[in-house]
Structure 1
């Protein structure tokens, strides 16, 4: 709840400081005194209206989620809007943006205006139906929660599938190129060091005949080997070194001959063609090793493409399973909701009957999967869509929904701010609105502007807004003061005894109604 509100330099208001209590709080006063401006200044402190004051400050009893907001609670918390050249917002002493303070406030405060259809949207109505089902089926809320988790998973998987398919379309062209590159290199089938080896073969083949001829001439040296040994022996020289040299020479010549023998049958054209293919790889990739490395990288890409296909297939299987599960779950939830429609419509029309209105009907249709199932809920009044009903009917219908919603509440559930919700209503209709608001005040702190004596009399706290040179807000603390203000509302500035008598009756009626609400 809002415990205290302070205002400074706001159009015709110089300074206002008021303490607020739980329950139904009424603001009344002559037309043009500044009631709507004052209500707007309260909303501005919560970031829910444009700033019009140098300072608007609300002290509240609620606590915020520190981990989610990054802000620190104090006792109590203070929301403040300060406007000099520009407006700035604070939560306690921490500066925050208007969007942040508005987001924090929406959890605890609602301003009901004729432009606000949020109570009648499908999700809000489904929430009412589910609350009605849960009265007789405690597991229903759990079923809806499980469905919601599954739905979020479904949306995530669908987005992932769309991303994968988008990637798949882009990767298909890359896959074709990678496969072409891999196949081209694999067709050649290069081996590390093969190019240099073939070069050696090419060189050897080109020199083979000449070298064989030269080796043949060189081998004549062995014909004179025994002569050299005889000379060395005659000279008393150890010929071991010469024997070793000649043996090494034979080995080298034999090795060369073996290589020449190995080259026998080698097709020089094949060698040249192979070198040409490998040379093409070297020109394109820099070396045979780099070509092989490039092929391996492209092969890994192909593996990714294949795994992508497997991932898409697995994802589709999970989607199919989830679709089946959600369809069954949504059908179960729909059946339970359909069974609760009679009870809910009866409850709504029960409150509407108190408000001198009837003919409301919540209906269900079915469509695609949504956050709360395949149901779509809508509300009509006497068969007419909400856009065609009057402002008075709209307000009373919304009050009936709030009253139904409040049946399952325990304790205070935040703040409602209403601006002339009883405008253009008859006396009986206005009294009915006042009674329902008094019932709702068990669960909400309600701030309401009223020009009707019935609602004004029903208030648990009553402030009057007046204007002379400046506007002022003052709490009417005694029954006498309240009676005089209600009498003014009844008869105008010239208050008659008849108006005072009616005002007294209204206050007494409000007291009796309040006792019934409490009981």
Structure 2
């Protein structure tokens, strides 16, 4: 959950610090006080929105998947947006893009503001249906695991077959090309590092005559070798260093001469032609080593082309077997789902009735086999497609789906952000929304803006947003302050005794609901 939020310099807000608890958190206050601005700032710290605040910072206790970014999880992870010349985003003081920040927070935070249809996607609805089936039968878990493993294997085999069938269409061309490439490299038949040896031979040949002439002139030094050595001895100087130097020089000249003798049998034209062949090979493949490696790859490809019919036959048998298996498993899963779908619809409509909505029609039909089986779920509200229902009805239907999902949740569901979900609702409708949100708050931390006394009274934590000298401020309200705020919402700035009494009644209902929830 979000444990702390800090805001600095955003429109009418100078500085705000919220220490938030779990459960249902309500923001209320007069129109124009900055409630929506504050919620936008919270969302901005997670990269979900953008704002011009100099600082938005949220401290959360989520365990994030950050290995790809080289960021370590802390006991409390801190999301931060800083705006100077431009907005920058951080987690635990390490800079990330807005998109990366948003993706990391996506699994933990949802902003239920616009018509987001993700709650009505097959994967989500089937997951809810399956969790209800699991309550009475563990069989579905085993079936789904076996189905998923077989489906993924079948997809892999099918992809390999598709590749083979595509290759078959141009197998002659592929074989000819592979054979051509192999023959071309084999014709040249390069040896590792041969290019370096050839360049050395070419260099030696180009200098051979000049070097032999120079060595012949330099060899005259050996004619005076004995005379120099004797003179050194007469001078009582040790001649061994001179003798060693002369021997080393003689060895160098002898080695060079032996090398020149070897070059006598070398055909310079053949060397140049060979250099040209190797040069072409390197231009085409990068290096001799890469050319030889490429040849081996083509040899293996050619072998595979030769065996393609055998591979295809084996894969076809495997594909048929896996197809039968996943179809059988899908049928078994569908049977369990069909047996539960009426109860699913009934329980959904129970929530819709609480929310003063018309009945929904839930249909389970077949579709192309996919990772979730062969089923799809469609929901209509009083026979009206979801795309055509009002925003208010759509959002309350989403709450019903979330409530249905939360019945079998075993872990915290994250954070829900709702902006005036009870706008334009009657008092009864607003109370129904409040009760469902209170139930969801067992599994979610919920931030909601409300102008209705019913939902406001149900909050487990209540923040009042107000303006003082044109500056927006936030205050967490005590019980008596909540009475006054809810009474203001009921009767306006001139708070009546009746409004206060009604506010106390609402808060007492909320208190009783909380006690009942904890039992």
Sort the TM-score into its range (normalised by shorter chain).
0.7 to 0.9
Q: Is the 8 A contact 2:65 2:104 kept in 1?
A: no
Give the alignment of 1:384-403 within 5 angstroms. Answer: 384-403=384-403
Counterparts of 1:383 and 1:98, CA distance in 2: 40
Question: Helix, strand or coil for the counterpart of 1:472?
Answer: strand
Closer/same/farther in 2, CA of residues 177 and 393 from structure 1, 3 Å limit: closer
**Cα drift, residue 456 of structure 1:** 0.2
Q: Which moved more, 1:330-339 or 1:5-14?
A: 5-14
Q: Is the 8 A contact 2:175 2:305 kept in 1?
A: yes
Counterparts of 2:83 and 2:181, CA distance in 1: 68
**Cα drift, residue 396 of structure 1:** 1.7
Closer/same/farther in 2, CA of residues 494 and 298 from structure 1, 3 Å limit: closer
Residue 62 of structure 1 aligns with which residue? 62
Question: Helix, strand or coil for the counterpart of 1:53?
Answer: coil
Closer/same/farther in 2, CA of residues 301 and 404 from structure 1, 3 Å limit: closer
**Cα drift, residue 176 of structure 1:** 5.5
Alignment gaps of 5+ in structure 1: 183-284, 286-295
Give the alignment of 1:59-458 within 5 angstroms. Answer: 59-67=59-67, 70-175=70-175, 302-410=302-410, 412-458=412-458
Larger radius of gyration: 1
Number of aligned pairs?
409
Residue 42 of structure 2 aligns with which residue? 42
Q: Which moved more, 1:405-414 or 1:364-373?
A: 405-414
Residue 240 of structure 2 aligns with which residue? none
With the length of structure 1 as denominator, give the TM-score of the two structures. 0.74
Closer/same/farther in 2, CA of residues 436 and 92 from structure 1, 3 Å limit: same
Counterparts of 1:148 and 1:473, CA distance in 2: 52
Counterparts of 1:42 and 1:341, CA distance in 2: 39
**Cα drift, residue 55 of structure 1:** 1.0
Q: Is the 8 A contact 1:463 1:476 kept in 2?
A: yes
Q: Is the 8 A contact 2:28 2:465 kept in 1?
A: yes
Residue 494 of structure 1 aligns with which residue? 494
Question: Helix, strand or coil for the counterpart of 2:384?
Answer: coil
Q: Is the 8 A contact 2:80 2:89 kept in 1?
A: yes
Residue 245 of structure 1 aligns with which residue? none
Residue 504 of structure 1 aligns with which residue? 504
Closer/same/farther in 2, CA of residues 473 and 324 from structure 1, 3 Å limit: farther
Counterparts of 2:440 and 2:180, CA distance in 1: 74
Counterparts of 1:92 and 1:469, CA distance in 2: 35
**Cα drift, residue 451 of structure 1:** 0.8
Residue 513 of structure 1 aligns with which residue? 513
Alignment gaps of 5+ in structure 2: 183-276, 278-295
User: What is the Cα-based RMSD across aligned positions, in Å?
Assistant: 2.6
Q: Is the 8 A contact 1:452 1:489 kept in 2?
A: yes
**Cα drift, residue 335 of structure 1:** 0.7
Question: Helix, strand or coil for the counterpart of 1:47?
Answer: coil
**Cα drift, residue 342 of structure 1:** 1.6
Counterparts of 1:46 and 1:470, CA distance in 2: 27
Residue 206 of structure 2 aligns with which residue? none
